[in-house]
Structure 1
């Protein structure tokens, strides 16, 4: 049986508030946690398959040009080598910015340094790796390929362009203005688990264990790449060691393993090295942004301008959506927003950790801090004065918004001093101490989702979907939703995810996973409750379920009488997305110390206050917020992809040289969650949280650096040398 809900209207019933099991929202530990910490949860490369051969990708040593020849004989006599696979599909780049897009490049063309061009297969990984290093490849390089966006004539993204009123006039007549240029470097997803796949054919049926975020789309991409029907493919991705956008689309190791396994008629495993993950999996684009703000004497915005330049390979559709929250976060009648893309030859640019706001908000919130100083208005108060009643560009109402509450309650909890702010007011030895703040915003998305819920005859339940859990807690919140609706404990709900033999979930990306798959589970459970109510002889709305029984009546096992009941819930976003602006909101507060001699910055403490609808699990939600704040520290102080200006290769392609924050970088972090019910966001009133926690946090650190030391820096990350260069005399 199936039950379908298309959300065209707000859903105000708030059914989860009326259930009796009392587990929704509670800080329940992850049900998959024990398997993970004991090493018994199998990740993509860890499945035991008989007769497994090992494949290692060979990557390009030129930046732009073409492969002339691959001399297979140069390695075939080496120990253990089975084959060199140079099928053209190995070099076909899956569009990784948005899942389920068609490949964009000629398979024999090399578009960037590090692009996979072949696969060496051997009996052991070490043998394959050695042979891959010795494979002779002849290239024809093309000189003059643009490697850096500076100096490249950009393409304007017309769908992102906004021109309302007269921004130039507003800037000319304003009492106070802020006109700044902010740069951000590119970022890597830097997920803990490298990209990996094991492919095995049984007849015409292909099974692939892979590290994927969105099997619902990935199966279509792989079928298209191999020229077979989706029905002949099974993707298994039960545990994923982080994705952060890098595993949205099918990438080369999965296609390579499938092609090689079919050719060799034996299973093949392909695991990217850490260096290959950095070199050929998509990056976040670097950005150059100009912010122009015009206000009256009291700091109320009359003009708002945000212009951004990003980059990508020729032919790719994705453009880092830098302006995403700028369209609605603050008011200003005179508005000008523009996004441009420069075509350069670095690896594909795509979705990485909150694409758009992760780099757009840190730039905007520096500009707001500059305006606060010029207008003499406290930074918190400035933002409060500029919260619009409706979306200022589309004149749409907000579905819900906790921005003002986050600003006020966050400031109070942090101990924000709303008095006059002047740099260098506090020093401890050789360290200046200062504070800063910023707003947070991240657009809310939901996706079509399906989930099968089976109420077993013994009174337990099974939930099945190809939805993935990339470390965010999906297994647990799915069990909580089903348990709450059916009156079961979490221990009585078995959750099976990450298998395309199950109904199609939404996939994990864009912070839409919990609200989307949770809604599908909710719809299925509602239908099951209807069936149970019929057996009880009452209405579903009045029936109460708790501890595996109808309150005041029989147990579920007695009611089922040896029969299983199953329903497939189908949730589909409807027209409501066109009638409201839905977003998560929040505020960041940071205290930093800056060394007066070295320019080193250390974060003493940070607080994030967030409003994102219903909290489905207090512990996993807080964990997501902590992770986002940690990412903010990386954007602010350490993370940057560095490319060689001569040949364009990535210089810092491992975790030793690409600096993500570690324990010593993350001090005292506090999270304040302001729960709300958003009837537009989803049937379960939840919004996304995974990425909201980093959208603007870097600016709180940047603004604190200025307050501490007087160094106003417009280039992320704010390294010691940049701080030193910006220190006033």
Structure 2
């Protein structure tokens, strides 16, 4: 079966089949404690590392005295910039697949301090507790220099990131004259908004276990969203040959961007394991989780103008966000404004400012999560000025084409999202004026916002194999960060091969498996899923061909579509069926197993379309009039994401995104002491996130949407879309409840009372 035929069959089967809300295939392992994470693998002679953080924000290390630490029985090593192994000099050796432009961070490279919390030493001991205690005995003398961590002070020095350094695509060129249209329009709003630094806090701490083997090979168990990315990074940095290194990551306890890049614990652990020739485990503390990946702070201006009927005349979105001193990290923040609404006059601009902080990183819906907050809040402010229902205003300005690219959408069921979400929520009963609804001492408000995220597909490969007893083994070197990848891929493989879900064993998180992209961007089902399904189709085709060749007269004369796999047999015919054991078929064909390897790449026709996932978010917020306490009591999220492979896990993803959006709106805020240049609330006691009492009813609707352009499966992915727009909908609901606009996240009671 050639690849064209396989892809045609994928499309046909995807169009005919509907997703089933099955339980997670890996669920039992997780609840029974059988799932093993990066810091839970063990080997004889295990040692433990603790990274000592810098106490200053910028400057240099004058001296490091480690004698007291090394005197402790059981302390094996203290690695510093003075005794680390020789490392490559050129920056490219340290760049991974998701690295932004600039110089990648190299732990223990030299005496320079870039940010507070930067690792300055690694202690290796025979227990984690001993390593941590020994680190406290190390005396580091610093020479401090002036630092800058106040983002508002740095805004004046913002600059457009260089496209030559990589990692950044400039905003679309202006269309029309947005500034003139803004001045001429009868109704306009022009406001500034801000979002704080937010920090990745998955339950599983970042860590790894590095095991050297007698043969010279290294096995690395790492918390990562891409085992191949991790392997390539380590091969470049340490000079491993391909067959000298294996990276394994079967389970990840949450990541959503923090695991895209190798973090500093990984090269430190490999350094120590190579030197000691013993297994090394390094797991960061919760405080150290605040010393690398985070969503960058942003300052944004949104200006909108409309005629008296509500038709947009101008859209201006300008943003500045933070980056580190050594890399140009850029979220795509302003593009969405030019894509989401129809307008002839649009100007978008984006800059970054350098701070003495670690490089930010992708965090669930990077760019869109921050940018949709001011854009969708500004749409509400414009609706208020026009005395138009905010949902009606969005429909008046509905974009039938992507204005940035001047391309049609491959599919866009956003109107249906608005319609079905509004009906479920009861939006028609919303009074236009704020402070119109209350119950006892609580003011009640209803808010709405639009969500959008790119639908993307990357090249991916998968291998499928069927054994004599009818077991189907499928593998691809992707990841499961808690999103349900094991389950969705098993479903797609079962559907393609024609076997029960229980007969499928899907394998991931191993660098020996078929190539797969990083798990991020909501493209895993689109990319890896397409490859898995294609491999299953090809495998099924091989079984059918072998049955017709070696199965006897009945199979030889049967139409190919009449031959199928039935448990550990192949069968054909209606009524009185002809059946042949798979093992016998393989024996006749001289095979132990039957396998198929497939690589699926994006189709050229995708270039002629804009592809995206859309949502409509409706929120009810209640605000205690006396205390200012906010409760988000009801959320309806209506999502158009093409084919939904598993509605149960997909709804879970969207619900999790909604919780994250509530957290963004009301809770999360990295707070700095600018005298020290250090984040002060680097723990889960003072860095606030929602708890059970903060989350009430969340209703997820998947709107029917067919798309045969976005990928062979017609699936767009839902990892990101759940969070986008939620913070804006919450802010809009709070305004409707109180009449108070809070344009700086998070919305806390002090701001409501200001």
Give me the TM-score of the superposition, normalised by structure 1.
Answer: 0.94
Q: 1:14 aligns with which of 11, 15, 36?
A: 11
The 1:713–1:438 alpha-carbon spacing in structure 2 relative to 1, beyond 3 Å, is same
* CA drift at 1:555: 5.5
Q: Does 1:218 align with 2:230?
A: yes
* CA drift at 1:662: 1.2
Q: Does 1:397 align with 2:404?
A: no
Q: Does 1:160 align with 2:171?
A: yes
Structure 1 residue matching 2:98: 3-state secondary structure: coil
* CA drift at 1:382: 1.0
Match of 1:86 in 2: 80
The separation in 1 between residues aligned to 2:347 and 2:584, in whole angstroms, is 63
Match of 2:282 in 1: 270
The 1:393–1:277 alpha-carbon spacing in structure 2 relative to 1, beyond 3 Å, is same
* CA drift at 1:460: 1.4
Structure 2 residue matching 1:692: 3-state secondary structure: coil
Q: After superposition, where does 1:174-213 map in structure 2 within 5 Å?
A: 174-202=185-213, 203-213=215-225
Q: 2:619 aligns with which of 581, 590, 605?
A: 590
The separation in 2 between residues aligned to 1:662 and 1:480, in whole angstroms, is 32
Once the two structures are superposed, what CA deviation does each residue of 1:256-275 show, in whole Å capped at 9, x if it has no partner?
11110110111010000010
The separation in 2 between residues aligned to 1:255 and 1:671, in whole angstroms, is 41
* CA drift at 1:477: 0.8
Match of 2:506 in 1: 495
The 1:200–1:103 alpha-carbon spacing in structure 2 relative to 1, beyond 3 Å, is farther
Once the two structures are superposed, what CA deviation does each residue of 1:430-462 show, in whole Å capped at 9, x if it has no partner?
210111110111111222211111111221100
Contact 2:95 2:233 in 1 (8 A): no
Q: 1:716 aligns with which of 741, 745, 749?
A: 745
The 1:311–1:229 alpha-carbon spacing in structure 2 relative to 1, beyond 3 Å, is same
Once the two structures are superposed, what CA deviation does each residue of 1:575-594 show, in whole Å capped at 9, x if it has no partner?
34432111100100011111
* CA drift at 1:395: 0.9
Tell which deviates more after alignment, 160-169 or 360-369. Answer: 160-169
Tell which deviates more after alignment, 61-70 or 234-243. Answer: 61-70
Q: Does 1:473 align with 2:484?
A: yes
* CA drift at 1:689: 0.3
Q: 1:306 aligns with which of 317, 335, 338?
A: 317
The 1:522–1:292 alpha-carbon spacing in structure 2 relative to 1, beyond 3 Å, is same
Match of 2:353 in 1: 342
Contact 2:196 2:297 in 1 (8 A): yes
Structure 2 residue matching 1:602: 3-state secondary structure: strand
Contact 1:522 1:569 in 2 (8 A): no
Q: After superposition, where does 1:559-598 map in structure 2 within 5 Å?
A: 560-562=585-587, 563=591, 564-598=593-627
The 1:559–1:670 alpha-carbon spacing in structure 2 relative to 1, beyond 3 Å, is farther
* CA drift at 1:215: 1.2
Give me the TM-score of the superposition, normalised by structure 2.
Answer: 0.91
Tell which deviates more after alignment, 135-144 or 27-36. Answer: 135-144
The separation in 1 between residues aligned to 2:728 and 2:40, in whole angstroms, is 40
Contact 1:437 1:703 in 2 (8 A): yes
The separation in 2 between residues aligned to 1:144 and 1:281, in whole angstroms, is 18
The separation in 2 between residues aligned to 1:456 and 1:150, in whole angstroms, is 64
The separation in 1 between residues aligned to 2:312 and 2:559, in whole angstroms, is 53
Structure 1 residue matching 2:337: 3-state secondary structure: coil
Structure 1 residue matching 2:601: 3-state secondary structure: strand
Q: 1:231 aligns with which of 238, 243, 262?
A: 243
Q: Does 1:71 align with 2:76?
A: no
Contact 1:11 1:682 in 2 (8 A): no
Contact 1:295 1:301 in 2 (8 A): yes
Contact 2:451 2:616 in 1 (8 A): yes
Q: After superposition, where does 1:505-544 map in structure 2 within 5 Å?
A: 505-535=516-546, 536=548, 537=556
The separation in 2 between residues aligned to 1:238 and 1:615, in whole angstroms, is 24
Q: Does 1:61 align with 2:86?
A: no
Structure 1 residue matching 2:727: 3-state secondary structure: helix
The separation in 1 between residues aligned to 2:459 and 2:665, in whole angstroms, is 35
Structure 1 residue matching 2:753: 3-state secondary structure: helix
Match of 2:712 in 1: 683
Once the two structures are superposed, what CA deviation does each residue of 1:180-213 show, in whole Å capped at 9, x if it has no partner?
1111111112111000101011243111011111
Contact 1:282 1:349 in 2 (8 A): yes
Q: After superposition, where does 1:133-172 map in structure 2 within 5 Å?
A: 133-145=136-148, 147-151=150-154, 152-157=156-161, 159-160=170-171, 162-172=173-183
Tell which deviates more after alignment, 575-584 or 476-485. Answer: 575-584
Structure 2 residue matching 1:328: 3-state secondary structure: helix
The 1:540–1:413 alpha-carbon spacing in structure 2 relative to 1, beyond 3 Å, is farther
The 1:551–1:595 alpha-carbon spacing in structure 2 relative to 1, beyond 3 Å, is farther
Q: Does 1:357 align with 2:368?
A: yes
Contact 1:11 1:679 in 2 (8 A): no
Match of 1:115 in 2: 118
Once the two structures are superposed, what CA deviation does each residue of 1:476-516 show, in whole Å capped at 9, x if it has no partner?
11110110111111110011110101112223111111211
The separation in 2 between residues aligned to 1:3 and 1:345, in whole angstroms, is 54
Tell which deviates more after alignment, 600-609 or 153-162. Answer: 153-162
The separation in 2 between residues aligned to 1:147 and 1:95, in whole angstroms, is 28
Match of 1:247 in 2: 259
* Structure 2 residue runs without a partner (length 5+): 164-169, 549-555
Once the two structures are superposed, what CA deviation does each residue of 1:543-567 show, in whole Å capped at 9, x if it has no partner?
5556664453535726743431111
Q: After superposition, where does 1:408-419 map in structure 2 within 5 Å?
A: 408-417=419-428
Contact 2:151 2:297 in 1 (8 A): no
The separation in 1 between residues aligned to 2:4 and 2:244, in whole angstroms, is 29
The 1:192–1:619 alpha-carbon spacing in structure 2 relative to 1, beyond 3 Å, is same
The separation in 2 between residues aligned to 1:428 and 1:418, in whole angstroms, is 16
The separation in 1 between residues aligned to 2:402 and 2:228, in whole angstroms, is 33
The 1:665–1:271 alpha-carbon spacing in structure 2 relative to 1, beyond 3 Å, is same
Contact 1:524 1:567 in 2 (8 A): yes
Structure 2 residue matching 1:503: 3-state secondary structure: coil
Tell which deviates more after alignment, 415-424 or 564-573. Answer: 415-424
Contact 1:434 1:707 in 2 (8 A): yes
